[in-house]
Structure 1
Amino acid sequence: MATQHAASASSAHSHDEKERISSPTSIAPPPTAPILEVTNADYALAVSEQKLNPYSWSSIRLFAVLAVAFMGSMSNGFDGQVMGAVNGMQQYLDYFGISGTDAGGGVGTVTALIFGIYYIGQIAGMAVAGPLADRLGRRGGMFVGAVIIIVGAIVVTLAKNTGYLLGGRFVLGFGVSITTTACPAYVVEMSPPQWRGRLTGLYNSSYYVGSILCTGVAIGTEQLSGTTSWRAPLAIQLVPAGILIIFSLWLPESPRWLLATGKPEQARAVLAKYHGEGDPNAPLVQLQWREFEEAIKVDASDKRWYDYSELVNTADARYRTFMMLLMAFFGQWSGNGLGYFLTVLFKNSGVESQRARLVLNFINTIVSAIGAFIGTALTDKVGRRRMWFWGTLASATMLAIATACTAEFGETGSSKSGSNSAIAFIFLFGFCYSLTYTPLQALYPSEVLHYNTRAKGMACYSLAVSCASFVNTYAGPIALERIQWKYYIVYVVWDIFECAMIWFFAVETMGRTLEELAEIFSDPHPVRASLRTRKVAVVEKETGDKHIIEVAQA
C-alpha cells in the first residue's frame, strides 16, 4: 500500500512538472532570449535549467560506479587482442603443433576453430544472458558473467592441449555474452541523458585498455623460451573479471530496473542521487521520472524469461530491432575481423621478424585506442548517424589503400617505403574504425531498444555479433592462407554497401532521453523524424521558472 501511495504522489508531482514545462508556443520571444535548435523541447528546457557539474561529488560517485561496469568491456578487449598476439608467437604455435610459421602467425583450420569456438560460446550464452539481466538485475548479470569468465580464463591459461583451449574459450565466450548484455545496459540506464553518449562510448573504449595491457605484456614475454611466453598474457584476463566479481554487487541498481520490479522509492532515490545532486525535484530527475512512469511496464515481456515477442510485435519494435542488428553486423564486418590476424597482415606487408610484428601489433592497439577515445568525446557533439556514415566511408578508404600498397609492395625485398605505407594505412584503418564503431557499438543498440526489451535485445545483439564474428574468425585464417591480401577486398566492397544502408535507414538518437526516442520510431519515416529540429527560445519568467517558446520558421 505504501508503494502505491508513493507512486501516486510521484505521479502527481510529475503532472505538475509537465504543466510547468509547457508546450512550445508561437509567441515571439524576447530579443535577448537565446535561440536553440533542438530535437526535443522538454529535454532542452530541463538541460538549460540543470547544468551537471562533472567535478561534483555526485558525478564522481557516478563515474566510479560506471568504471566497475567498464570491466565488462575490458574483459572482452583482453580476449580480442591477447589471442591475436599469442597467435603470432612461435612458442605457442610449436607447443600446440599449429601451422603458421611461414605466414607470421597461426592460420588454417585449427586456428579457425580456436578463434571461432569463443563465438560459439557467446551464441550459447545468449539463451540465458537476457533473462539473467532481467531476473537478477543488471548487477546480478555482471556478477554471474564474471564468475564464468574466471573459470574460462583459468582453463585457457593452464591449457595442455588444444582441447583445453577449445573448452576454455567456449566458457570464456559464454561468460562474456552475459557481461556484454548486462554491462552496457547498466551504463546506458545509469548515465544522465546529456552524458549518455560519452559515458557509454567510454564503456566500449575500455576494450582498448585491456587490449593495450595484453599486447604490451606479449611483447615483454615474447622472448621467453617456455610456455610462460604465452600463458602470462592469457592469465591477465582474470583481472577485469575479478574486479567485476568483487564490486558488482555493491553497485546501485539501475533505476529503470527498480521501477519495473515494483520498487519506485529506491528507483527515485538512485535517480536523484546520481542525476540530481540528491534533489528528487531537479528538472532532469522530474523529466526522466515522468517518462519512466509512462514507458516502463510492470507486466511486460521482460518479466517472462521466454518471451522475446516485444522485439518484433509492432512496426516500432521491428525498426528498433533492425537498427540493433544493423550495428551488430556492420560493427563486425567493416574490416575489424582482420584485427585478430594482424601479425599475418604485417607479414603480408613484408615484416619478417616475430618481435617486429608484435611491436607493430602493440602500436596499432594504441593508435586504435586514440581513435576510440576521440570518437567517445565526439558522440554527444557530432551525433551517432553522421559519425557512423562518415567513419565507415573513411574505414573503407583506408583499407582500400592498404590493400593496394600490400599488393604492390608486400613481397619480401620490395620497396621498404612501400611496405611501410601499407602498414601506415593498416594503422589508419584501425584509427578510423575505432573512432566510429568503438563508441557506437555499445551505445547505439542500447539506445534504440526500449527498456522492456533492452536486456533481451542486447542478448540478441550479442548473438548477432557472435555469429558475425564467427564468420570473421573462422573464414579469416583460411582465406588469409589461400588468397592472402586479396581477402581485404571483400571488406572494402562490404563497407561501401554499409554506407548506403546507413544513409537510408540509420536514425539519429542524440539529444533525447531514452524514453523520448519512441516518437522517432513511431513516426512513419523514422530517419526524417530523427533529423527534424525546431528552433526554440528559453525564456525566464519573473518567478525564476523557465519555459520554451517556439520560434517561427522563415
Structure 2
Amino acid sequence: MKKHLGLSGNYLLGFLTAMNGLTMGWFGYDQGVFSGVLISADFISHFPKVKDSNISGITSSCFSLGAFLGAITAFSFGEKIGRKKTILCGSILNAIGAILQISAFHLPQMIIGRVINGFGMGLTSSTCPVYQAECTKAQYRGRLVVVGSLSNTFAYMLANWMNFGLYFSSGPLQWRFPMAFQLLFPMFSVPILLFLPESPRWLMNNKRFDEGLQNIALLWGKDLKSEDPLVQEEYYSILSIIDQESKNRVPLKDVLLCKDKTHNLKRVVLGMGTQFMQQFTGVNALGYYMPTILTTQLGFSSSRAKLLSACNATSYLAAAFVCLIIIDMVGRRRLMIWGSLSCCVCYIIAAVSVKVADTHLKFEMGCLTVTMFFLYYVCYGTSYAKVPWVYSSEINSIGWRTRGAAAATATNWICGFCVTQYTKKAIDNMKWGFYLLFACIVLCYVPVVYFLYPETSRRTLEDIDYMFQEYDVVIVSRYKVLTQRGRAEEFAINEEQRVQDVTHSKALGDEKSSLAEHVETI
C-alpha cells in the first residue's frame, strides 16, 4: 500500500491537520493584518482616499466580497475536482492576490489584489474544514476541525502584534512587510498538501472505491491493511450511506422543494445559519475596526489602540484553546447558546459605558468598554468563533458536503462584507446604539439554536445522515436523541445493521458473479 509522506495513521493525520492549520491560519492572518495597515501613516500617504469612510469600508470589505465569490465557486466546482485540488487552487490565487497588494502603489491595484486574495480564501476556507472532517474519526473530528480554526486565531493574534511592533517603524516597511509576511503560509502548506491523500469519502462518492478503501486504511491507524476489521467496518458504513443516497437521489428541483429523504436543503440552511449567526455577532466589526474604534470613539492614542488590539487577540487565542478542549465534551448546541447569552451581556455593558463616556468619566468608561471587548472575545472565542466551522463541515450529506460547506462559507463572507462595509458609518452615526443593536441580535439566537439545531457531536457523519432521514421534524428540542451530547444507542444499532446489510449484499453479489462465471465457463 502506498504511504503518503512515508506515514500512516496518526502521523499522517497530523500532517493533514498541520496543512489545514496553516491554510486556515493564512485566513486569520489576512483578517487581522489589514486593521493595522488601514491606520498606518505610510499607507494613508500612498492611498489618501481611504480617509473617506466609504472608501475605507470598500477597501476592507472587498476581501470578503471576493471570498464570497470564491465560496460560491467552491459550491459549483468543488465537488467535481476534489478537496485537495480546490485547496491548491485557492492557495495559488491567495498568493497572486497577496503579491498584488504588496506591490501596490495605486488603490485600484490594492482593491483588485484584495478581491483575488479573498476569492482564493473563499475556496480554501470552505473546503479545509470538510477535508479535515472527512479524514478524521468521529471522536476526534470536532477537536481537529477546531485546530484549523485555532490556527486562524493564532495567526490573527500574530498579525495584531506585528501591527503593533511595526507601528514604531516608518516608511513602507510599516505596512508592506506585514502584507508580505503572509506568503510564508503557502511556502509550508502547499508542499505538504501535494503529498496528502484525498478524502476517502469523496473518492468513494466518485466511484473510486479501491482508492477510498486504501485511504481509510492509511488514515485510520498505523500500518493497517485494507482487510483489517476496523477499516472494513468504516468502509462499509460509508458505502451503505452512499448506496442509500444514490437510491434516494432526486433532481435539484426536488431538493429545493424539500422532497428528498435526506433533507439536503434543510441541512444546508442549518449550516448557513451558524455562519450567519457568527458574522452578526459583530466580530468582524470589532476585528477590522478595533484600532479605529479605540482611537476615534474612545480617545486612545494609535500606539495604545494597537497594543490593546494585540492583547485582545492574545486573550482571544486563549479562549480558542478552551474551545478546543470542550467542544466535543460540551456539544455544539450548548456552546452556541452560551455564546449568545454572554456576548449579549458584554454588548449591553459596552453600550451603557459608551453612552456615559459621552458626558463624563470618559477615561474610566473607555477602560470599561475595552474590558467588555476583551470579555466579548473570550465568550465569542469559546463559542461562535469555532462551532460554525465544525457544524457546517459535518451537518451535510456526502453528496452535498462540499456544496453545503461552501454555501455556509459564502454566507459567512457576504455577511462579513455587509458588516465590515457599514461598520464605520454605523459607529459614527449610532454611537452607543451600535453595540445595543448587536446585543439584541445575538439574544435572538438563543431560541433559534434551542428549538431548531440538532446536536452533532460524538456522532459519525453517517449517524447524522440517519438522524435526518428518520426524524423529519423542524422543532428538534422535543426529541432527546436529537439534542443529547452522547451518541444514542439507536445510532450504533443502525450502523451495525447498515454494515451487515451492505456486507450481505456484497457477499450475494460476489456469489452471483462467481455463479455467472461458472456458467459461462461451462
Aligned mates of 1:488, 1:361 — CA distance in 2: 18
The equivalent of 2:430 in structure 1 is 483
CA positional deviation for 1:92: 2.1
The 3 A distance-change label for structure 1 pair 451 and 166 is same
CA positional deviation for 1:519: 2.5
The 3 A distance-change label for structure 1 pair 284 and 488 is farther
The 3 A distance-change label for structure 1 pair 282 and 525 is farther
Contact 1:335/1:492 (8 A) holds in 2: no
Aligned mates of 2:276, 2:96 — CA distance in 1: 29
Question: Matched residue of 2:86: which SS?
Answer: helix
CA positional deviation for 1:298: 11
The equivalent of 1:67 in structure 2 is 18
The equivalent of 2:132 in structure 1 is 187
Q: How does 1:112-261 map onto structure 2 within 5 Å?
A: 112-261=57-206
Aligned mates of 2:253, 2:64 — CA distance in 1: 22
Question: Matched residue of 1:452: which SS?
Answer: coil
The equivalent of 2:267 in structure 1 is 320
The equivalent of 2:293 in structure 1 is 345
Question: Matched residue of 1:296: which SS?
Answer: helix
The equivalent of 2:370 in structure 1 is 423
CA positional deviation for 1:237: 2.0
**Matched residue type, 1:70:** G
**Matched residue type, 1:143:** L
**Matched residue type, 2:472:** P
The 3 A distance-change label for structure 1 pair 114 and 297 is farther
Is it true that 1:355 corresponds to 2:270 in the alignment?
A: no
The equivalent of 2:514 in structure 1 is none
CA positional deviation for 1:299: 9.1
Pick the aligned partner of 1:77 from 15, 22, 28.
Answer: 28
Contact 2:264/2:400 (8 A) holds in 1: no
CA positional deviation for 1:351: 4.1
Deviation string 1:73-120 (CA, Å, 9 cap, x unpaired) is 1121011111112123233223211455xxxxxx61001111221122
Pick the aligned partner of 1:388 from 336, 345, 360.
Answer: 336
The 3 A distance-change label for structure 1 pair 343 and 534 is closer
Pick the aligned partner of 2:240 from 291, 294, 299.
Answer: 294
Deviation string 1:452-472 (CA, Å, 9 cap, x unpaired) is 011122221222112111110
The 3 A distance-change label for structure 1 pair 439 and 124 is closer
Aligned mates of 2:80, 2:450 — CA distance in 1: 37
Identity of matched residues, %: 23
Pick the aligned partner of 1:97 from 37, 42, 48.
Answer: 48
CA positional deviation for 1:499: 1.4
The equivalent of 2:37 in structure 1 is 86
The equivalent of 1:414 in structure 2 is 361
The equivalent of 1:497 in structure 2 is 444
**Matched residue type, 1:440:** V
CA positional deviation for 1:524: 2.9
The equivalent of 2:324 in structure 1 is 376
Is it true that 1:453 corresponds to 2:416 in the alignment?
A: no
Contact 2:352/2:432 (8 A) holds in 1: no
The equivalent of 2:220 in structure 1 is 275
Contact 2:254/2:260 (8 A) holds in 1: no
Aligned mates of 1:365, 1:173 — CA distance in 2: 22
**Matched residue type, 1:295:** I
Aligned mates of 2:296, 2:212 — CA distance in 1: 55
Contact 1:259/1:267 (8 A) holds in 2: yes
**Matched residue type, 1:226:** G
User: For structure 2, which runs of at least 5 residues remain unmatched after alignment?
Assistant: 1-6, 490-522
More helix by share: 2
Contact 2:17/2:147 (8 A) holds in 1: no
What is the TM-score when the length of structure 1 is the normalising length? 0.80
**Matched residue type, 1:149:** N
Aligned mates of 1:284, 1:513 — CA distance in 2: 14
CA positional deviation for 1:226: 0.7
User: For structure 1, which runs of at least 5 residues remain unmatched after alignment?
Assistant: 1-55, 101-106, 537-554
Question: Matched residue of 2:223: which SS?
Answer: coil
Contact 2:280/2:419 (8 A) holds in 1: yes
Aligned mates of 1:122, 1:160 — CA distance in 2: 23
C-alpha RMSD over aligned residues? 2.7
The 3 A distance-change label for structure 1 pair 401 and 370 is same
Deviation string 1:371-397 (CA, Å, 9 cap, x unpaired) is 112112111100011111112211111
CA positional deviation for 1:123: 2.6
The equivalent of 1:364 in structure 2 is 312
Pick 1 or 2: higher relative contact order, CA cutoff 8 A, min separation 6.
1
Contact 2:272/2:409 (8 A) holds in 1: no
CA positional deviation for 1:288: 2.4
CA positional deviation for 1:175: 0.5
Aligned mates of 2:364, 2:44 — CA distance in 1: 30
The equivalent of 1:438 in structure 2 is 385
CA positional deviation for 1:125: 2.0
CA positional deviation for 1:202: 1.2
Aligned mates of 1:282, 1:272 — CA distance in 2: 8
CA positional deviation for 1:281: 5.5
Contact 2:200/2:213 (8 A) holds in 1: yes
The equivalent of 2:4 in structure 1 is none
The worse-fitting range, judged by mean Cα deviation, of 188-197 and 156-165 is 156-165
The worse-fitting range, judged by mean Cα deviation, of 321-330 and 285-294 is 285-294
CA positional deviation for 1:309: 6.7
Contact 2:24/2:149 (8 A) holds in 1: yes
Contact 1:131/1:455 (8 A) holds in 2: no
Aligned mates of 1:510, 1:373 — CA distance in 2: 18
CA positional deviation for 1:334: 0.9
Contact 2:63/2:114 (8 A) holds in 1: yes
The 3 A distance-change label for structure 1 pair 308 and 334 is farther
The 3 A distance-change label for structure 1 pair 260 and 382 is same
What is the TM-score when the length of structure 2 is the normalising length? 0.84
Aligned mates of 1:328, 1:297 — CA distance in 2: 30
Deviation string 1:112-135 (CA, Å, 9 cap, x unpaired) is 111221122123223421344322
The 3 A distance-change label for structure 1 pair 507 and 112 is same
The equivalent of 2:483 in structure 1 is 531
**Matched residue type, 2:43:** Y
Question: Matched residue of 1:451: which SS?
Answer: coil
Deviation string 1:202-244 (CA, Å, 9 cap, x unpaired) is 1111111221221122122112221210111111222223333
Is it true that 1:472 corresponds to 2:429 in the alignment?
A: no
**Matched residue type, 1:137:** G
The 3 A distance-change label for structure 1 pair 478 and 283 is farther
Contact 2:75/2:402 (8 A) holds in 1: yes
Contact 2:16/2:132 (8 A) holds in 1: no
CA positional deviation for 1:247: 2.3
The 3 A distance-change label for structure 1 pair 369 and 516 is same
Aligned mates of 1:93, 1:308 — CA distance in 2: 50
